[in-house]
């Protein structure tokens, strides 16, 4: 057994060593500033070394025409779509890959079949987890394709691979050429929350109605890119979507009393909206507060009666990577025209929610949309679309699509009919709306590869969310962004580097959201400074809006636009699982040695005196026993009368002659009167970081000292920093503003400070007394009212 284990360990080590292109075989030096180039894709004509799209950058164009019917009674959706595919790549394609995301809910899906449970689940499982399993087992989910034909209506051959479908083209698609094909399909809509879906329906027991949020609902083209070829990793439910831009023309047929919010712009308002609704929308466009388009009273009246009739809503959307819509007769609707200061364009911020969402949604939803448009447009680019919707949809948290988002939190309904909401629900709603509307910038416009790199949308978006929350109100209870929030994850064992494919991430929330959001806040506040960071971030957004960046494009742009070598930061924070723990190991106070025996011998004498006082000597003297030299004084001589530090002529002559050999500036330095503080730092966590110090002087004044991370270049384990100051230092505190995510602050102060704690006392619980439980049960129990 042991032998097998040894072989395995050796094999693992040699594989790792082989993967390292350069090997440090002498000493223990670790180059934390090693350049990242060897880990990044080689720059080319599609993506430059500066992180910008290259002169031959290309992306595919995919346009959709879809007619879709929502069958409310059967909770089924039936669609017929024509797809136009333009091959802008320099490659000839013989087949196209299509994403059939609904297949993930099928009991035959890879996602369900490879769903690994924890050992403990065999003893204890949540109701929610078991319900999802039972619903998967007992239902027929997934796409049913009824027609796959080319432009002339001839059947196309295709093959299924779980959530992906390959359509084989009859003639190869040359660079620059287009093709089109049509698919008819239907599927059973899953219950959103119960299936952990990103859309679906939610049923309201009280009035018997549903809210539908329809997403990942039509066969979508997989992305074909210069870096990955076909991006067709299977959909396991976590790694999100990698998509192409295109134009959409969608006709949605739904019950006539439904209100629909959607990606795109409504083409036929006169057919589907009342005169009053259209008038109110017009007013809302220039109002100074959100305006009700469908009031709570109207929504309650609408949901009380049903109709067999249908209406068709016609939407068009230009240059979007996806399309989603919400539909229900329960919707209250408010809207507000938000004028964007840069161009003066008006974006309609709109919210749809059941009356059950009040009071909360009517107060905060549309305001939160407007706030996101305001802040994100300043830190990235102006919001490019005409609409921004927040819908109280059928999923627990939130989910984003171009121009439309689904957001979960809602007030609590009590037995007496009253409603309240917790602080967590209030800020949870504002935050999730900022987050999901923020996603319309990243990744709906800055079109990242979500299936592979969750941090590029979740992390960058959570960072911008933290900036928007700081602008909402002071001390906003933010969940992301403050460096301390990443510490529990970064110090834990169960983690992967940020640069991990989305479905392999351990700890999705802290890995893809919190840690990168914290990293970017640290880059902005501590490493680069706000001015350089904000410019570089904006440049990244500007370069890649309506294009597809990869991690290297972000890393390279941040350096390119700031003249900061950030490889050490991206390497440490994105490619490793190191954390931050820097300690002040010690402080040495010094001055320049004058070399003058008349000055220094006295100091030496003082230092020597400090070494006296060994306990054996002290106790011996305390006995009062006469020593031999007291009993025989003739034993005392020169050495008993003079110590080692008397100044001799020889010393003085030597000093004078040494002075003669010194240049004037060297003599000056011997009289240099400044206080010298050598501060030793030790890197315990692994990540090299800037050193931020609060230096307190003996006169009570403070100085903030900021030292760049480059101090660790030659030694990433320990460094010593010299502070030369005109006055004496009383204390030094590392990371006084909690800005570097230092995990252990107990080693951050010189002199060391006591940790403060309060000891909580508890009583041990008594064991169960079965005899008494039964006896109590026999007694009549008073009816509690
Ligand atoms: Zn997100």
Cβ-based neighbours of 410, under 8 Å, separated by 6 or more: 353, 356, 357, 360, 361, 392, 421, 425, 429
pLDDT of residue 480: 86
CA 388 / ligand 1 centre spacing (Å): 16
Ligand 1 center from residue 482 Cα (angstroms): 18
Residue 783 has pLDDT above 60, yes or no: no
Task: Tell me the CA–centroid distance for residue 681 and ligand 1, in Å.
Answer: 38
Question: From ligand 1's centre to the CA of 481, what distance in Å?
Answer: 14
Cα(767) to centroid(ligand 1), Å? 47
* Contact present, 373 and 346 (Cβ < 8 Å): no
pLDDT at 11 exceeding the cut of 80:
no
Q: How remote is the CA of residue 463 from the centroid of ligand 1, in Å?
A: 11
- Residue 82 Cα to ligand 1 midpoint, Å, equals 30
- What spacing in Å lies between the alpha carbon of 220 and ligand 1's midpoint? 20
Distance from the alpha carbon of residue 27 to the mean position of ligand 1, in angstroms: 44
Confidence tier at 562 by pLDDT (50, 70, 90): very high
**Centroid of ligand 1 to alpha carbon of 140 (angstroms):** 29
Residue 166 has what pLDDT? 98
> Residue 78 Cα, ligand 1 centroid: separation in angstroms?
28
**Residue 163: CB partners within 8 Å, gap ≥ 6?**
99, 100, 101, 103, 104, 109, 110, 111, 234, 235
Portion of the chain with pLDDT greater than 70, in percent: 96
How much distance in Å is there from the Cα of 202 to the middle of ligand 1? 21
397 C-alpha to center of ligand 1: Å? 10
* pLDDT over 80 (residue 665): yes
| CA 497 / ligand 1 centre spacing (Å) | 19
Mean pLDDT of the 55-64 span: 98
Determine the distance separating the centroid of ligand 1 and the alpha carbon of 439, expressed in angstroms. Answer: 6
Distance 461 CA to ligand 1 centre (A): 7
Secondary structure (H, E, C), 522-539: HHHHHHHCHHHHHHHHHH
Cα of 502 from ligand 1 centre, angstroms: 13
| Selected residue with higher pLDDT from 659 and 776 | 659
Q: What is the DSSP letter of 509?
A: I
Rounded distance between C-alpha atoms, residue 449 and residue 457, angstroms: 9
Per-residue model confidence (pLDDT) at position 299? 98
- 727-775 pLDDT, tens digit each: 999 999 999 999 999 999 999 999 999 988 999 999 988 888 888 888 8
- Give the distance (Å) from ligand 1 centre to CA of residue 384: 19
> Cα of 214 to ligand 1 centre, how many Å?
18
Ligand 1 centroid to 217 CA: how many Å? 19
Q: How confident is the model at residue 13 (pLDDT cuts 50, 70, 90)?
A: very low
DSSP type of residue 1: -
Q: Which helix (H) or strand (E) holds 604?
A: helix 597-611
Joined tokens for residue 609: 């005196």
β-pairing, 61-71 vs 246-255, is parallel
- Report how far Cα 369 is from the mean position of its chain's Cα atoms: 20
CA of 758 to the centre of ligand 1 (A): 38
- pTM score of the predicted model: 0.93
**CA 536 – ligand 1 centroid, Å:** 22
Q: Is 110 helix (H, G, I), strand (E, B) or coil?
A: helix
Ligand 1 midpoint to CA 614 (Å): 67
CA of 550 to the centre of ligand 1 (A): 17
What pLDDT does 414 receive? 94
> Could you tell me the distance, in angstroms and rounded to a whole number, from the CA of residue 396 to the centre of ligand 1?
13
- Measure 442 CA to ligand 1 centroid, in angstroms: 9
Ligand 1 centroid–CA 453 distance in Å is: 12
The three-state DSSP-derived secondary structure of 359-427 is: CCHHHHHHHHHHHHHHHHHHHCCCCCCCEEEEECCCCCCEEEECCEEEECCCCEECCCCCEECCHHHHH
CB atoms within 10 A of CB 307: 12
Q: Is the predicted pLDDT of residue 68 greater than 50, yes or no?
A: yes
Expressed in angstroms and rounded, the spacing between residue 432 Cα and the centre of ligand 1 is 8
pLDDT score recorded for residue 1: 41
From residue 243, alpha-carbon distances to 104, 207, 247 in Å are 17, 38, 13
pLDDT of 3 > 90? The answer is no
Kindly report the average pLDDT of the chain as a whole number: 95
pLDDT of residue 479: 87
Strand positions, DSSP E, 72-177: 76-86, 93-99, 144-150, 158-161, 164-173
pLDDT, residue 527, reads: 98
Q: Quote the ligand 1 centre to 221 CA distance (angstroms).
A: 22
Q: Which residues of 94-110 are buried (b: 16+ CB within 10 A; e: fewer)?
A: ebbbbbbbbbbbbeebb
Position 765 scores a pLDDT of 87
Q: Give pLDDT tens digits for 676-706.
A: 999 999 999 999 999 999 999 999 999 999 9
Please compute the mean of the pLDDT values over residues 427-447 and round it to a whole number: 98
CA of 196 to the centre of ligand 1 (A): 15
Return the exposure string of 344-364: e unless at least 16 CB atoms fall within 10 Å of the residue's CB, then b: eeebbbbbbbbbbbbebbbeb
Distance 263 CA to ligand 1 centre (A): 18
Distance 399 CA to ligand 1 centre (A): 7
Write the pLDDT tens digit of every residue in 492-516: 999 999 999 999 999 999 999 999 9
Supply the pLDDT for residue 233.
Answer: 96
Instruction: State pLDDT tens for residues 510-525.
Output: 999 999 999 999 999 9
Angle at alpha carbon of residue 31, lines to 28 and 34, rounded to 5°:
160
CA distances to 34, 182, 602, 745, 756 from 759, in Å: 46, 69, 50, 20, 10
Q: What is the pLDDT of residue 20?
A: 62
Helix (H, G, I), strand (E, B) or coil at 515: helix
Q: How confident is the model at residue 116 (pLDDT cuts 50, 70, 90)?
A: very high
State the pairing for strand pair 702-707/718-725.
Answer: unpaired
Look at residue 785 and tell me whether its pLDDT is greater than 70. no
Distance 450 CA to ligand 1 centre (A): 10
CA 334 – CA 665 distance, rounded (Å):
77
The rounded distance, in Å, linking the Cα atoms of 149 and 169 is 10
Give the model confidence (pLDDT) of 389-406 as tens digits: 999 999 889 999 999 999
Q: Let me know: does 466 contact 517? Beta carbons within 8 Å.
A: yes
Report how far residue 708's alpha carbon sits from residue 690's, in angstroms, rounded to the nearest whole number.
5
Ligand 1 mean position, distance from CA 195 (Å): 18
**Spacing, Cα 408 to ligand 1 middle (Å):** 13
What is the distance in A from the centroid of ligand 1 to the CA of 436? 6
Contacts 24+ apart (CB under 8 A), 597-601: 597/647, 597/648, 597/651, 597/652, 597/655, 598/647, 598/652, 601/645, 601/646, 601/647, 601/651
Cα(457) to centroid(ligand 1), Å: 7
pLDDT at 23: 85
Q: How far is the CA of 454 from the centre of ligand 1 (A)?
A: 9
Region 263-280: mean pLDDT is 98
Own/partner long-range contacts of 520-526 (Cβ < 8 Å, ≥24 apart): 520/459, 520/460, 520/463, 521/463, 521/466, 521/481, 521/482, 521/483, 522/483, 522/689, 522/739, 522/740, 522/741, 523/558, 523/566, 523/569, 525/739, 526/689, 526/690, 526/692, 526/739, 526/740
Compute the distance from residue 30 Cα to the ligand 1 centre, in Å.
Answer: 35
Q: In 3D, which of 576, 429, 582 has the Cα closest to residue 499?
A: 576
Q: What is the pLDDT of residue 782?
A: 55
pLDDT more than 90, % of the chain: 92
Question: Residue 226 — pLDDT band, cuts 50, 70, 90?
Answer: very high
Ligand 1 midpoint to CA 58 (Å) = 27
| Calpha distance 745→736 (Å, rounded) | 10
For the cut 60, the answer to whether the pLDDT of residue 8 exceeds it is no
Ligand 1 centre from 441 Cα, in Å?
Answer: 11
**Omega of the bond prior to 105 within 30 degrees of 0, cis?**
no
Centre of ligand 1 to C-alpha 512, Å, is 9
Interatomic CA distance for residues 470 and 378, integer angstroms: 14
φ, ψ of residue 414 to 5 degrees: the values are: -100, 165
pLDDT at 19: 52
Per residue, the 3-state secondary structure of 452-488, as one string, reads CCHHHHHHHHHHHHHHHHHCCCCCCCCCCCCHHHHHH
Residue whose structure tokens are 């305390």: 622
Residue 781 pLDDT exceeds 60: no
């Amino acid at each position: 057994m042991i032998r097998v284990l040894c072989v395995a360990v050796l094999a693992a080590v040699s594989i790792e060593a082989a993967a390292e292109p350069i090997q440090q075989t002498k000493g223990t030096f670790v180059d934390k500033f090693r350049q990242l180039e060897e880990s990044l894709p080689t720059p080319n004509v599609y993506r430059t070394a500066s992180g910008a799209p290259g002169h031959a950058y290309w992306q595919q164009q995919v346009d959709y025409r879809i007619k879709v019917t929502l069958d409310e009674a059967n909770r089924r959706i039936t669609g017929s779509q024509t797809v136009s595919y333009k091959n802008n790549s320099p490659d000839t394609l013989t087949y196209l890959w299509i994403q059939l995301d609904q297949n993930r809910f099928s009991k035959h899906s890879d996602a369900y079949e490879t769903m690994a449970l924890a050992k403990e689940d065999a003893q204890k499982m949540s109701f929610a987890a078991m319900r999802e399993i039972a619903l998967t087992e007992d239902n027929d989910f997934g796409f049913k394709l009824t027609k796959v034909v080319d432009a002339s209506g001839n059947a196309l051959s295709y093959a299924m691979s779980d959530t992906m479908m390959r359509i084989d083209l009859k003639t190869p698609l040359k660079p620059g050429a287009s093709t089109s094909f049509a698919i008819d399909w239907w599927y059973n809509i899953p219950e959103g929350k119960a299936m952990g879906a990103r859309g679906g329906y939610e049923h309201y027991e009280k009035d018997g109605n549903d809210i539908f949020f329809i997403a990942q609902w039509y066969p979508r083209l997989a992305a074909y890119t210069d870096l990955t070829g076909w991006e067709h990793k299977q959909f396991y439910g976590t790694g999100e979507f990698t998509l192409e831009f295109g134009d959409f023309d969608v006709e949605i047929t739904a019950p006539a009393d439904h209100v629909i919010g959607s990606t795109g712009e409504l083409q036929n308002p006169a057919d589907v909206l009342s005169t009053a609704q259209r008038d109110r929308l017009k007013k809302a466009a220039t109002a100074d507060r959100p305006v009700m388009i469908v009031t709570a009273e109207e929504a309650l009246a609408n949901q009380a009666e049903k109709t067999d009739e249908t209406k068709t809503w016609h939407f068009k959307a230009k240059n979007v990577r996806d399309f989603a819509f919400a539909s229900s007769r329960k919707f209250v609707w408010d809207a507000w025209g938000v004028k964007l200061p840069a161009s003066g364009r008006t974006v309609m911020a709109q919210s749809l929610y059941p009356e059950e969402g009040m009071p909360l949604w009517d107060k905060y939803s549309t305001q939160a949309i407007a706030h996101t448009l305001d802040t994100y447009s300043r830190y990235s680019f102006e919001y490019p679309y005409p609409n921004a919707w927040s819908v109280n949809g059928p999923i627990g948290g939130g989910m984003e699509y171009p121009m439309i988002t689904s957001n979960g939190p809602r007030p609590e309904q009590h037995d007496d009919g009253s409603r309240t909401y917790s602080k967590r629900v209030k800020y949870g709603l504002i935050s999730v709306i900022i987050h999901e509307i923020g996603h319309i910038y990243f990744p709906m416009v800055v079109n990242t590869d979500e299936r592979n790199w969750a941090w590029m949308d979740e992390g960058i978006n959570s960072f911008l969310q933290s900036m928007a929350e700081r602008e909402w109100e002071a001390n906003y209870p933010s969940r992301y962004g403050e460096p301390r929030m990443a510490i529990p994850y970064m110090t834990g064992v169960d983690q992967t580097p940020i640069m991990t494919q989305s479905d392999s991430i351990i700890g999705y929330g802290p890995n893809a959201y919190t840690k990168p959001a914290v990293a970017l806040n640290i880059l902005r506040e501590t490493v680069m400074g706000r001015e350089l960071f904000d410019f570089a971030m904006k440049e990244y957004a500007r370069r890649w809006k309506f294009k597809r960046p990869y991690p290297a494009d972000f890393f390279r742009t941040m350096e390119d636009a700031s003249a900061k070598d950030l490889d050490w930061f991206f390497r440490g924070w994105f490619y490793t699982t190191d954390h931050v723990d820097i300690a002040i190991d010690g402080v040495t106070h010094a001055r320049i040695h004058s070399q003058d025996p008349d000055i220094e011998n006295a100091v030496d004498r003082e230092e020597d005196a400090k070494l006296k006082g060994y306990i054996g000597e002290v106790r011996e003297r305390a006995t009062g026993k006469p020593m031999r030299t007291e009993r025989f004084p003739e034993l005392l001589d020169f050495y008993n009368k003079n110590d080692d530090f008397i100044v001799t002529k020889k010393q003085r002559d030597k000093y004078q002659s040494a002075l003669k050999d010194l240049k004037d500036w060297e003599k000056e330095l011997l009289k240099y009167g400044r206080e010298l503080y050598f501060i030793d730092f030790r890197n315990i966590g692994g990540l090299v970081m800037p050193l931020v110090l609060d230096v307190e002087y003996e006169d009570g004044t403070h100085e903030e000292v900021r030292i760049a991370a480059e101090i660790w270049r030659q030694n990433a384990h320990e460094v010593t920093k010299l502070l030369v100051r005109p006055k004496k230092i009383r204390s030094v505190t590392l990371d006084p503003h909690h800005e570097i995510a230092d995990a252990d602050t107990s080693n951050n102060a010189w002199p060391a400070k006591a940790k403060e704690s309060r000891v909580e006392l508890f009583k041990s619980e008594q064991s169960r007394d079965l005899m008494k439980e039964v006896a109590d049960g026999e007694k009549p129990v008073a009816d509690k009212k």
